[in-house]
Amino acid sequence: MSTTAAPHDELDDDEAALAALGYKQELSRSWSGFSNFAISFSIISILAGCFTSFGLGWNGGGPAAIAWGWPVVALLILVIGFCMSELVSAMPTSGGIYWWASKLGGPKAGYYTGWLNLIGLLAIDASVAYGCATFVDTVIGNYSDSWAADYSLTRVFIEFVIVLAIAAAVNIFSSHLLAILNNISVWWHVAGAAAVILILVFVPSHHASVASVFTHTVNNTGFFGGSTSGLGFIFLVLPLSAILTQYTITGYDASAHLSEETKSAANAAAKGIWQSIFYSAIGGWILLLAFLFAVQDEAKVTAAGGGSIAIFSQALSSNWGGIVLIISAAGQFFCTVACMTSTSRMMFAFSRDRAVPGARHLSKLNASRVPVTGVIVSAVIAVILTLPALVKVDIGGAPVPVAFFAVVSIGVVGLYLAFAIPIYYRWRAGDAFKVGRWSLGRKYRWMAPLAVIEIVVTSIVAMFPTSTGGAPWYDNFGWKFVNYTPLVVFGLLVVLEIAWHVSVKRWFTGPKSTLETPPAVEPAAVDTTAV
């Protein structure tokens, strides 16, 4: 039901800016600029992505691909972040990506963007929670031989559901509690990553050489006979390693989705996006280099499926390895909580504009002003997306989490394609685009197209099979090896296209105002705090 706006002189700057976008202040605006930065930093979580998706980088290129690939890809992601910072400064709303696309490209652009963003966020929820469960199980196994001996995918899946349930419960309590947890998470990630680096520097008996870290390559996919040379390796195998970086440094759109709960959002949310990327990129590279230099035997890491845990078991005693695993598992839990917060806020905003089935329920807030139904639905869908993880998959004699890698890729493709759409339309708008307090200046002219190209290339790579077993033209093909990202993404696009022409285009007109009479608000002055 629409609500008449309060008189203009009763609104503070944030409420007035939100009213200018057509919305009443409903969510509790209790987050500081640091808290806004903290949630994106927590979702990026180098204690999650660097640990759980390390195998993608190792199997698709090895030490050299990780050592060189991380800074290159991270720099390109920072360009994407700068473009999004400019957009959120101009339009600080929980709808974020979807809202920008709708206003710049029309209802259809917004509809597609919203659904891509939502499926990407749901997949990120699933992947981070599953990674957390895997590490929790490994921590327990590290201190209990019987637990380790009885390992099963079913047990890990149950732990995954428990992690999601706890994260959902924490989210339902209050926005204020979440802000506190995210502030704690920042320091846990900083101190935890520093502790892991120091352990890997001082505890191992010896370290890999600089040459092995920066020049040795691995092809553990089975493609091209395991060759690490030639055009096939360079253009089809090596690009897979980029998903390590692209997956780890994602989810920073949370700063946009939480902008309606952030004070001075036009400036704070913009900084939250690019600063979370920048600091995570530096910390993540140092952390990954510590992993690589701690490798005692490259061949054994490869034989174990390329996972980071194989490095810790080589280089560290059970006690030291247990500390590293505990630090990572806790960081991954913080990340799961933050991911669910971002997802539920995006779902709330998208439902507020009646673009999601069950919108009336999903857009409701409880007494603490939290979208409870959105939190619960997010957890349930994450479980459904990860059901294939119950199927055991061995590649080269080692268990490989193919389903986990697929959910990772779904998150990467969904989120980044959603990012590309408003960035493209902002570029099309040119100098006519009304900037907010934080602006790129004229740099958008080259940053925006570069960002879109990077996203398109990476999205294509994320759909590649990760082993010969997932490629139909190989004799060992099996559905359990398949990277099902293309099935989910293209399936979603087909459903959206059919729904658009059959029904949606007749009633969906984009963002809907919750105000009967939005106050006349002057747009925020341009801050020359450009990049």
Contacts of 530 (CB under 8 A, 6+ apart): 438, 439, 440, 441, 443
Bridge-partner residues for 399, per DSSP?
A: 394
Strand partners, 515: 3
Does residue 442 belong to any structural domain of this protein? yes
Residue 129 has pLDDT above 80, yes or no: yes
**Out of 39-43, 149-153, 362-366, 440-444, least confident range:** 362-366
Average pLDDT of span 187-192:
92
Q: Domain span at residue 238?
A: 32-215+223-505
Domain annotation covers residue 1: no
Does some domain include residue 180? Answer: yes
- Note whether residue 530 is domain-resident: no
Q: How far apart are CA 470 and CA 125, in angstroms?
A: 24
Sign of CA dihedral 217, 220, 224, 227: positive
The helix (H) or strand (E) run that includes residue 345 is helix 318-352
Q: Which two tokens stand for residue 14?
A: 């944030």
pTM of the predicted model as reported, rounded to 2 decimal places: 0.86
Q: Which secondary-structure segment (H or E) carries 395?
A: strand 394-395
| pLDDT per position as a tens digit, 197-237 | 999 999 999 999 999 999 999 999 989 999 999 999 999 99
Residue 297 sits in a domain whose CATH number is 1.20.1740.10
Question: What does the pLDDT read at residue 328?
Answer: 94
Whether residue 20 is contained in a domain is answered as no
Q: Residue 416 above 90 pLDDT?
A: yes
Instruction: Identify the residue whose tokens are 């089935």.
Output: 357
Work out the pLDDT band at 293, boundaries 50, 70, 90: very high
Confidence (pLDDT) at 195: 96
Q: Is 370 part of a structural domain of the chain?
A: yes
Give the Cα separation of 227 and 242 in Å (integer): 18
Is residue 4 a part of any domain in this protein? Answer: no
19 inside domain: no
Give the whole-angstrom CA distance, residue 244 versus residue 238. 12
Quote the number of domains for the chain: 1
